[in-house]
Amino acid sequence: MSNLVVDLRNYPWSSYPRYLNLEAGKSSELVPIELQSVMSYFKTNADYERFTLDQADYAKSLEILKHHLFD
């Protein structure tokens, strides 16, 4: 994994802050996926954030394991 972006909440070209409700009131034109559709799977914005962070950690774990497996 490249780890080019440490915190997506601060990445200017990401819609992630909008999903966490950190940019409330901004135009939804820039959100490529319907916000309500995605967020309907989560009770709170914090649940969504936890899910994305858990998935990122899982991906990092898989990347590490990949290099330790024998062919």
Q: Which two tokens stand for residue 71?
A: 């062919």
pLDDT in tens, 11-63: 777 778 888 877 655 655 555 567 788 889 999 989 988 888 887 777 777 77
- pTM of the full predicted structure? 0.52
Query: Residue 20's pLDDT is what?
Result: 80
Query: Residue 33's pLDDT is what?
Result: 66
pLDDT in tens, 1-13: 456 667 777 777 7
Q: 3-state class of 54 per DSSP?
A: helix
What residues have CB less than 8 Å from 4, skipping those under 6 apart?
A: none
Exposure b/e, 42-66, CB count within 10 A at least 16 = b: eeeeeebbeeeeeeeeeeeeeeeee
C-beta of residue 60 within 8 angstroms of C-beta of residue 53: no
